[in-house]
Every structure is written in structure tokens, then in C-alpha cells.
Chain A
Amino acid sequence: MSAQVHPAALVPGVLALLPRYASLEDPVAELRAACLAAVGRLGPRIRVVASGGSGGRVGAALVRAAGSLVVESDETGLLVVANGSGRRTEKAPGHFDERAEGFDAALRADLGSADPGLAAELWADVAALDALAGRTLVEADVLYDDLPFGVQYWVAVWGDAAD
């Protein structure tokens, strides 16, 4: 199997998805369900690509929760941890920035479009999106597309391990 035909998924690096931050009521129940559904379509051996340590931990925790293994090579699927701007609303972690909506719209059309400098200003975690170069959300199976806390999250899958 060549690298090009591996299924891939995109999830956001939301720390609330980690078991150590579990609440009595899950504040990200819908997002978690979407992430697990996406990861479940990547096969038994999954390589995680993230921009930093916390995103990597979130990715690995989702892989484990889905019953798969985190691998460095010979993967059956690729899990990319990234998300849009954290400055979409007044109550967003980074507060409102009027450029954020347009930035996320451009990302939605082309995941490789982000300018790193602007992404940093807009609190967007996009470095790992290089692993999805050439893919768009338009052609993906999008399981989640929302900004419940003023941060743009996407959960999307391209292809299936069974394909």
C-alpha cells in the first residue's frame, strides 16, 4: 500500500479530550464522538502528526480510545491534529479578531493555505496541516464543523482503511 492511499483524518488538539481532564459531564461530547468515529476509520495502526506535544497527546489518546495503536511507520492511517483560529468570538480564548473568520474560510477551501505568521496571530494550530497538503475539506467526509468555544474545530476523514 502506498502512502497516498492511506486514509487520513483531521481532529483538533482539544485538551478536554484527554482522560486526565475528564469532567462529570463531558463538555465536548459531540466533538469526542466525531473524533472517535473518524479515528475508527483509520485502521489498527495509526501515525499521529501534530504541531506540538499537547496535540500529539490528544491524538494518541484518541487512537488508544478507539482501540488502535500509535505507530511511527507502516501505518494503516494518518491522524493529523490541527484546528482553525482560537479568536473567532468575544468569549474565545484569544478574544475576537475580525480576520479570523476569513482565515478559517480560506483554510476550509485549502488546508495548505495558511500563512504561519497570521496563523500564530489568530491562535490557529495549523503546522501539522502540511501532512494533508493537497486535500480539501470539500472532498472530505466532514463529521464536525463548529466553534463551540470560539475555536474553529474540524473533524474530517479522507478515504477509509477498507477502501
Chain B
Amino acid sequence: MTLALGRHTFGDDDTLMMAIVNRTPDSFFDKGATWAEDAAFARVAEVVAQGAEIVDIGGIKAAPGVEISAAEEKARVVDFVARVRAEWPGLVISVDTWRAEVGAAVCEAGADVLNDAWGGADPELVDVAAQWGAAIVCTHTGGVTPRTRPYRIEYDDVVASAIADTVAYAERALAAGVARESIVIDPAHDFGKNTFHSLEVTRRLGEMVATGWPVLVSLSNKDFVGETLGMEVGERLLGTLAATSVCALAGARIYRVHQVVETRQTVDMVWSIAGRRPPLRAIRGLQ
């Protein structure tokens, strides 16, 4: 399906790298490396050079921690979005937020996508996306409160729950006036899920793709990879890429990542195996 992400459109078979850019002092993978605005700006320049089509700018880490007010969140991301917008007009800017108030401010500053990692916790976020012509990412969290860890959550069928919740969210966005081609669903690995749940969602991702809504996956260096392989943060790239391959074969369209180059190679390779992308330059045996 064609994707319209704010002011940018992409073809039916395009895959997109969404590079994570944290404006936080405490996110799990980079541990605050891009907390300073100039460091975050340099990170954007780096991932653009690496070919990322999207940057996902976040002002609050997902895990529990010091409460960040909407005002503080805006202070972290709004001016930064405007600065990135001015420097890279062709770049898709996503902002990782669940708050409608923050969403409106970043859209005004030039954001194209509202990446709601918390499954619609703020019901007015869809209205903001509709009002600004922004795209929205509809995730599955099992109904947990933002910035909480999963604790003894069980599902009869985690994939059925993920499909039901994300499709319901997508339809709510559609009803609010968000364009159909601007709505993306995300099973949200590790969010409201134990490792067994995230592995099952990965194994059965094709069922989410079959809904017809474009699917985003956010696998990068997450705990389900770490627990599966016994690897600490910083040692999870290979496991992440293995999970990425499975999701790519199933047809995921957007990959939220820390490592752009490695993920792009992985997805291109799998996309070609799946017959959705020609080889770059094939001559072996064809001379």
C-alpha cells in the first residue's frame, strides 16, 4: 500500500528505515549520548547520510523514570523538530509521543508522523494527526499505562490482541479524519509483552501484514532479543537483525532502528529474497 507520511509519499514496495534519535538523558541503548541538542543534531546528520528515510525523535524514554511534564517534553523536542525540518526538507520527521498537546506542537514545527508507542493512551492524538495531515503509528500495548513495564500480563492469543487493538486504533484514526495511507500499525515488541509474546508476534507477523495496514516493527536491541540470546544491551545487533529478517520476509514496511546501515542491508537482502526488490546489479551467469 502507498504510504503518505506527512508531506512525503512512498511506493507500494518501499521499505523505510526509521532512525531513533533520543533527546533524553537516559534512554536504554545510547544512555543519553544525544541528550545535548547539538549531539542529537549530529545524530540526525549521521543517519541521513546512512540513508534513513525517517527520524523518530523522542523526548521521553519508554521505561519508568522521572516524570517528564508535557512542557518539559515540548522543550526537548519542538524547537529541535523545527531545526531538523529547516535543515532537511526531504526527511520524514516522526516524533515519539503519546500526548496530543505535544503532538500538536511538533506538527506545527514540521513533524510528519506521530509515533504513539503507547497505544492511544491520549484519545485526542488522532484528532491532532487529522488536523495537521500527519501520519500516525498505532501500537499495541495490551492497555498498559505509558512508561510502565509489563508485569504478569497474559493473553489468550497475543497476535489476535495485537491485531484487534491496532486495527481498532487505526479505524479510530480513520474516523477522526487521518488519511488511510497515513495510518501504520505496530505490534510493539516488549510493550505490554514478555519475551514469549514478542517472539510469537515476530513469528506470526504475517497475520498483521495481512490486515492490509502497513506494519512498522520496533525490534532494535530490545529485551526480548537480550533474553532470548543472553545478551546485554550493546550485544544485541545480530539477534535484532535475525528478528528483522523474519519481519521483512513477512512484509513489514517500516523498521525503527538504532543501526541504520546494518538494518538496511538486512531488509534489502530479505526483500530481494522475497521477490519484492531486484538485485542491485546481477551479472553472474548472465554474461
In the complex, chain B residues whose CB is within 8 Å of the CB of A14: 286-287
Contact A21 B282 (CB under 8 A): yes
Q: A24-32, A37-45, A111-119, A131-139: which lies at the B interface?
A: A24-32
CA distance A93 to B286 in the complex (A): 9
Q: Which of B44-52, B54-62, B227-235, B273-281 contacts A (4 or more CB under 8 A)?
A: B273-281
Check: B285 CB closer than 8 A to any chain A CB. Answer: yes
> B283, A16: Cβ atoms under 8 Å?
yes
Distance between Cα atoms of A27 and B277 in the complex (Å): 16
Kindly supply a per-residue 1/0 record for chain A positions 39-64, scoring 1 wherever the CB is within 8 Å of any chain B CB and 0 otherwise. Answer: 00000000000000000000000000
Cβ–Cβ < 8 Å partners of A27 in chain B: 281-283, 286
- A23 surroundings in chain B (CB, below 8 A): 278-282
Q: Closest residue to B279 on the A side, CB-wise?
A: A23
Could you tell me if B279 and A149 are in contact, using CB atoms closer than 8 angstroms? no
A77 at the interface (CB under 8 A from B): no
Contacts of B287 in A (CB 8 A): 14-16, 86, 92-93, 149-151
Chain B residues contacting A86 (CB-CB under 8 Å) are 287
Which residues of chain A (2-41) have a CB below 8 Å from chain B?
Answer: 14-16, 21-25, 27-28
What chain A residues lie within 8 Å of B280 (beta carbons)?
23-25
Contacts of B282 in A (CB 8 A): 16, 21, 23, 27
Q: Which residue of B lies closest to A21 (CB)?
A: B286
Q: Which residues from B are CB-within-8-Å of A16?
A: 282-283, 286-287
Interface flags for B25-57 (1: CB within 8 Å of A; 0: not) read 000000000000000000000000000000000
Q: How far is the CA of A149 from the CA of B287 in the complex (A)?
A: 7
Residue picked from B277, B279, B286, B287, most chain A C-beta under 10 Å? B287
A21 to B279, CA, bound (A): 9
Q: Of B277, B281, B283, which is within 8 A of A149 by CB?
A: B283
**A86 to B, closest residue via Cβ:** B287
A68-84 CB contacts (< 8 Å) to partner B? none
Chain A residues with CB below 8 A from B285, complex form? 15, 93
- Tell me the smallest distance from the CB of B279 to a CB of chain A, in Å: 5
Which residues 142-163 of A sit at the B interface, judged by CB distance below 8 A?
149-151
Q: Nearest-CB distance from A88 to chain B (Å)?
A: 11
Whole-angstrom distance between the Cβ of A12 and the nearest chain B Cβ: 9
A24 touches B279 (CB 8 A): yes
Residue of B nearest to A148 (CB): B287
Chain A residue numbers with a CB within 8 Å of B279 are: 23-24
Tell me the residues in window 86-120 of chain A with beta carbons closer than 8 Å to chain B beta carbons: 86, 92-93
- Docked complex Cα distance between A149 and B279 (Å): 18
Alpha-carbon gap, A14 to B280, bound state (A): 18
Bound form: Cα–Cα A52–B282 in Å: 22
**Cα-based distance from A93 to B283 in the complex (angstroms):** 11
Residues of the B chain whose Cβ atoms lie less than 8 Å from the Cβ of A150? 287
A150 to B278, CA, bound (A): 24
CA distance A47 to B280 in the complex (A): 33
> Other CB < 8 Å A-B pairs besides A16-B286, A21-B282, A149-B283, 9 of them?
A14-B287, A21-B286, A24-B278, A24-B281, A25-B280, A25-B281, A27-B286, A92-B287, A151-B287
Binding site for B on A (CB under 8 A): 14-16, 21-25, 27-28, 86, 92-93, 149-151
6 contacts between A and B (CB under 8 A): A16-B286, A21-B282, A25-B280, A27-B281, A93-B287, A149-B287
Which 6 pairs across A and B sit closest by C-beta, in order of nearness? A16-B286, A149-B287, A15-B286, A27-B283, A25-B281, A23-B281
